[in-house]
Every structure is written in structure tokens, then in C-alpha cells.
């Protein structure tokens, strides 16, 4: 279930930056993976590093993941939660 502060994957796993698995899949790309190994969706999105000297990140979340959360919490809450998650992902990737 989605709480006031967290998004949820279609498998029911709570999604926040501390639970996400971020895997490097190339020089400039990362894969955002659901924390549940039984998840049918598995990949929640991708990140592309645009500039290496002063890193900027282009994050794309799965449409199914976003649509699921819109159904659960409504568009406005989902948009706010997704923005917060994207900021946290960017901060986490800057530490890599």
C-alpha cells in the first residue's frame, strides 16, 4: 500500500530511495529496479547521466509504475511523490 510519503510498485513493494536498487548498465546509464525479487515489472525506470563534470541526470520512470500510483493516490499526490523520489535519486547518484 502507498503511504503518505512513499510510492508503491505494482507488486506491492514500498518504493523509496533507500529501498531501490540502482544498477549501472553502461558508462552513462543506470537501471532503477524494484526492491522485490518477485516483482513482475522489475524495472521501474532508467537514468542517463548527461554531463560527467557537473552531473545532470535524465530520469525516466516506467509509465506502468506511474499510472499505478496515480490510481492509488491521485495525480497530484503521485506527481509530488515522483518529484521527491527523482530528487532523492539524483542526490544518491551524485555520491556514486
* pLDDT reported for residue 90: 86
* pLDDT reported for residue 79: 93
- CA 61 to chain centroid, in Å, comes to 6
**pLDDT tens, position by position, 49-89:** 887 678 788 989 999 999 999 999 999 999 999 999 998 98
* pTM attached to this predicted model: 0.82
**pLDDT tens, position by position, 12-60:** 999 988 889 999 998 889 999 999 999 999 999 999 988 767 878 898 9
Amino acid at each position: 500500500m502507498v503511504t503518505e510519503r512513499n510510492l508503491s510498485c505494482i507488486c506491492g513493494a514500498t518504493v523509496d530511495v533507500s529501498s531501490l536498487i540502482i544498477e549501472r548498465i553502461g558508462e552513462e546509464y543506470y537501471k532503477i529496479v524494484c526492491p522485490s525479487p518477485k516483482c513482475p515489472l522489475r524495472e521501474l525506470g532508467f537514468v542517463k547521466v548527461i554531463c560527467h563534470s557537473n552531473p545532470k541526470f535524465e530520469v525516466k520512470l516506467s509509465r506502468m509504475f506511474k499510472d499505478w500510483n496515480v490510481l492509488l493516490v491521485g495525480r497530484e499526490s503521485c506527481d509530488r511523490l515522483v518529484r521527491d523520489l527523482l530528487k532523492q535519486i539524483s542526490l544518491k547518484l551524485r555520491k556514486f
